[in-house]
């Protein structure tokens, strides 16, 4: 890895404490934890380490704001207006937020600028537009009655997010919650608390009332678990690992909290021999290596029809050898470091499993340098369905290629997983594409494209990849309760 100058300036870190009831406050315990830059392992700053006591304060603030504040009962269109204002303020600081994201997470600045922050803004604007369009219905029941439904905010919501798209995950969760009139306690991932805290500052500046958005940085088993247990929290929205979701589900059951989960995957990406191979190779590369492979919907099982298998493998390997991995602040960089030591080690273990299980490593497989968590873009061929690298989520730049020769067998193999988040197919045959879309059990199917996200299009998993949907109208519905009102007209 060439040592390059850092052309994009690192932003100032301003907010490092909890944000509760509109105030910036240290943790009750006084504890702090470090957040690091994964490319250099240097400490960026210390951040307040919230735990149960801070969660209790934040929930009290959110509860007060929900029950007694203006938020849930103000004119819906005005709620939308404040959300548009927040989106505008984020847009005005987009470059600084993108740099902060790159600093905290290690993702390439070109991605933070072109993808993460623009998608944050778009998501908030999309849901701002929903605020005054949340309607009930009138229902023709028997008798002399007027019966109608109201869609009301679910209440105080706890939102627990991961580190792979820190600002974007905050926006996906704030957008529908705010539009519906909920109030929020968010726990960002311990690896990446900084952009969420900055967004909270901007929310206050936009005029969103104090207590509507509260942010408590900290760890999962302390701050996260306390949020899930708290009796005054009405819903938990979580994105992260399946095993964590199961812990949350069990705990949330005690108070019958509503839950939505967006979890992992082992998404099949299928290239048929009749595909536009230039597009398919580029798409398959992007599907896995984007964001250092740290995507819940990564196309991590690449099924290639036997006739074009060798060509596709060679072309992806070739791309890997030329892929610019390095300083994420260099605008030419396409792949930065993994987020932390734990993720780095987990991925390197899977590289070993791949080799032990008999797959061929045709490119990559090694650490790059001895500082920062850089891993070569790695490609395995000769992968079979039962190998660990074909079954388990690696969450890193490791692509497994599986060969197939027949479409029915392919669909069965694609579905042979406990996950069901996404799938994609590359073909010029539209009948084949639609048959695939109908038969593969996953929440999102991409045809001749990958990772096409839009705030208006629902996203979420079948099977163990999740519960409920985010984005679109479905994502909004998950933040409302339906109330039936029956009025005697007699
Ligand atoms: P994780 O599920 O442990 O962490 C996600 C969030 O949950 C963080 O904010 C964390 O503090 C919180 N959390 C952890 N334990 C908790 C608990 N007991 N109660 C409440 N909140 C808790 O995921 P982690 O450890 O960061 O990554 C492990 C693996 O999970 C990754 O290697 C990857 O395979 C998968 N993952 C999937 C993501 C997705 O987008 N679907 C995102 C992040 C990780
Ligand atoms: Mg964990």
267 alpha carbon – ligand 1 mean position (Å): 18
Residue 131 has a pLDDT of 98
- Over 90: is that where the pLDDT of 374 sits? yes
pLDDT surpasses 60 at 254: yes
Report which protein residue has its CA nearest ligand 1's atom 12: 220
Report which protein residue has its CA nearest ligand 1's atom 14. 220
Which percentage of the chain shows pLDDT scores above 90?
97
Q: Which of 241, 266, 420, 459 to mutate to test the pocket of ligand 1 (most atoms within 8 A of CB)?
A: 241
pLDDT grade, residue 104 (50/70/90)? very high
- Which ligand 1 atom is the nearest neighbour of the CA of 396? 32
How sure is the predictor about 267, in pLDDT bands with cuts at 50, 70 and 90? very high
Q: 456-461, long-range: CB within 8 Å, 24+ apart, which pairs? A: 456/126, 459/262, 460/260, 460/262, 460/421, 461/261, 461/262, 461/263, 461/265, 461/419, 461/420, 461/421
**If you average pLDDT over residues 178-201, what whole number do you get?**
98
Q: How far is CA 273 from CA 69, 306, 310, 367, 403, in A?
A: 60, 8, 11, 33, 11
CB 312 within 8 A of CB 304: yes
- In the reported structure, the alpha carbon of residue 246 is separated from the centroid of ligand 2 by a whole-number distance in angstroms of 12
| pLDDT for 456 | 98
- Please choose from 170, 173, 220, 465 the residue to mutate so as to test ligand 1's pocket, defined by most ligand atoms within 8 A of CB: 220
- For residue 474, what are its two tokens? 């479905």
Catalytic residue among 49, 101, 262, 376: 262
* Pairing label, strands 183-187, 156-160: parallel
**Residue 66 C-alpha to ligand 2 middle, in angstroms?**
31
Distance 221 CA to ligand 2 centre (A): 9
Provide residues with CB under 6 Å of ligand 1.
160-164, 187, 189-190, 219-221, 224-225, 228, 239-241, 244, 247-248, 263-264, 296, 343, 346, 393, 395
Q: How much is the pLDDT for 421?
A: 98
Best residue for ligand 1 mutational test, from 167, 236, 244 (most atoms within 8 Å of Cβ): 244
Mean pLDDT for the stretch of residues 291-295: 98
Known catalytic membership, residue 262: yes
- At 307-338, the pLDDT tens digits run 999 999 999 999 999 999 999 999 999 999 99
- Among residues 420, 412, 380, the alpha carbon closest in space to that of 293 is found at 380
149's tokens: 């439904």
pLDDT of residue 8: 87
Q: Whose CA is nearest to atom 9 of ligand 1?
A: 189
Contacts of 71 (CB under 8 A, 6+ apart): 65, 79, 181, 183, 208, 209, 212
Condensed to tens digits (0 to 9), the pLDDT of residues 218-227 reads 999 999 999 9
Would you say residue 3 has pLDDT above 90?
no
Count other Cβ atoms within 10 Å, centred on residue 424.
30
Q: Which ligand is nearest to the CA of 165?
A: 1
Q: Which residue has the tokens 């929020």?
A: 184
Q: Please tell me the distance from the alpha carbon of residue 200 to that of residue 184, in angstroms, as a whole number.
A: 11
Strand partners, 446: 424
Residue 344 pLDDT more than 60? yes
User: 273 pLDDT band (50/70/90 cuts)?
Assistant: very high
Closest ligand by atom to 241 CA: 1
Residues 443, 449, 454: CA angle, nearest 5 degrees: 60
Cα 162 to averaged position of ligand 2 atoms, centre (Å): 9
The mean per-residue pLDDT over the stretch 270-278 comes to 98
Is the pLDDT reported for residue 355 higher than 60? yes
Q: How far is CA 12 from CA 26, 116, 255, 347, in A?
A: 19, 19, 41, 32
Contact 222, 31 (CB under 8 A): no
Mean pLDDT of 368-386: 98
Q: How would residue 428 be classed by pLDDT, with cut points 50, 70 and 90? A: very high
135 is catalytic: no
What does pLDDT average to over the chain? 97
**End-to-end CA gap in the chain:** 81
The pLDDT of residue 6: 56
Q: What is the pLDDT of residue 357?
A: 98
Q: Which of 190, 296, 376, 464 is catalytic?
A: 296
Q: What is the mean pLDDT of residues 234-245?
A: 98
28-70 pLDDT per residue, tens: 999 999 999 999 999 999 999 999 999 999 999 999 999 999 9
Q: Which two tokens stand for residue 286?
A: 């992007």
Distance CA 447, CA 458 (A): 16
Residue nearest to atom 20 of ligand 1 (CA): 224
Q: pLDDT-based confidence at 418, cuts 50/70/90?
A: very high
Ligand 1 mutation pick, 35, 162, 460, max ligand atoms within 8 A of CB: 162
Q: What is the pLDDT of residue 4?
A: 52
pLDDT, residue 73, reads 87
Ligand 1 centroid to Cα of residue 163, in Å, is: 8
Give Cα 394 to chain centroid, integer Å.
Answer: 16
What is the SS3 assignment for 457? coil
CA angle 217, 290, 414 (to 5 degrees): 105
């Amino acid at each position: 890895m060439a040592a390059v100058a850092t052309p994009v300036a690192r932003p100032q870190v301003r907010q490092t404490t909890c944000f509760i009831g509109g105030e910036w406050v240290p943790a009750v315990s006084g504890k702090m934890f470090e957040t690091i830059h994964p490319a250099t392992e240097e400490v960026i700053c210390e951040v307040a380490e919230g735990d149960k006591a801070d969660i209790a304060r934040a929930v009290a603030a959110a509860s007060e704001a929900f029950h007694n504040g203006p938020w849930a009962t103000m004119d819906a269109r005005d709620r939308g207006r404040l959300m548009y204002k927040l989106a505008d303020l984020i847009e005005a600081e987009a470059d600084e937020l993108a740099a902060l994201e790159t600093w905290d997470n290690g993702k390439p600045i070109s991605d933070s600028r072109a993808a993460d922050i623009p998608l944050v803004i778009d998501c908030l604007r999309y849901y701002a537009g929903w605020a005054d369009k949340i309607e009930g219905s009138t229902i023709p029941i028997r008798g002399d009655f007027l019966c109608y439904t109201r869609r009301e905010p679910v209440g105080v919501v706890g939102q627990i997010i991961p580190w792979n798209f820190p600002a974007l995950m905050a926006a996906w969760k704030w957008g529908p919650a705010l539009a519906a009139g909920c109030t929020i306690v968010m726990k960002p991932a311990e690896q990446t608390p900084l952009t969420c805290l900055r967004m909270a500052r901007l929310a206050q500046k936009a005029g969103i009332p104090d207590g509507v958005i509260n942010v408590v940085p900290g760890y999962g088993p302390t701050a996260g678990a306390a949020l899930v247990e708290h009796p005054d929290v009405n819903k938990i929205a979580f994105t992260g690992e399946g095993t964590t979701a199961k812990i949350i589900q069990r705990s949330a059951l005690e108070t019958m909290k509503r839950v939505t989960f967006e979890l992992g995957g082992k998404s099949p990406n299928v290239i048929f021999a009749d595909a536009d191979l230039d597009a398919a190779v580029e798409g398959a590369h992007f599907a896995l290596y984007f964001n250092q492979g740290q995507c819940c919907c990564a196309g991590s099982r690449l099924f290639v029809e036997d006739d074009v298998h060798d060509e596709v493998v060679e072309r992806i390997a070739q791309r890997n050898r030329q892929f610019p991995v390095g300083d994420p602040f260099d605008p030419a960089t396409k792949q930065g470091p993994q987020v932390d030591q734990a993720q780095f080690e987990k991925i390197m273990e899977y590289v070993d499993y791949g080799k032990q299980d008999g797959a061929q490593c045709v490119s990559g497989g090694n650490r790059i340098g001895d500082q920062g968590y850089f891993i070569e873009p790695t490609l395995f061929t000769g992968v079979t369905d039962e190998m660990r690298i074909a079954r388990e989520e690696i969450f890193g730049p490791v692509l497994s290629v599986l060969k197939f020769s027949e479409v029915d067998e392919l669909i069965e193999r694609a579905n042979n997983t406990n996950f069901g988040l996404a799938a994609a197919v590359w073909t010029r045959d539209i009948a084949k594409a639609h048959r695939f879309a109908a038969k593969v059990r996953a929440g999102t199917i991409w045809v001749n494209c990958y990772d096409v996200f839009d705030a208006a299009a629902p996203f979420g998993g079948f099977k163990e990849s999740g519960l409920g949907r985010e984005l679109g109208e479905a994502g909004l519905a998950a933040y409302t309760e339906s109330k039936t009102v029956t009025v005697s007209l007699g």
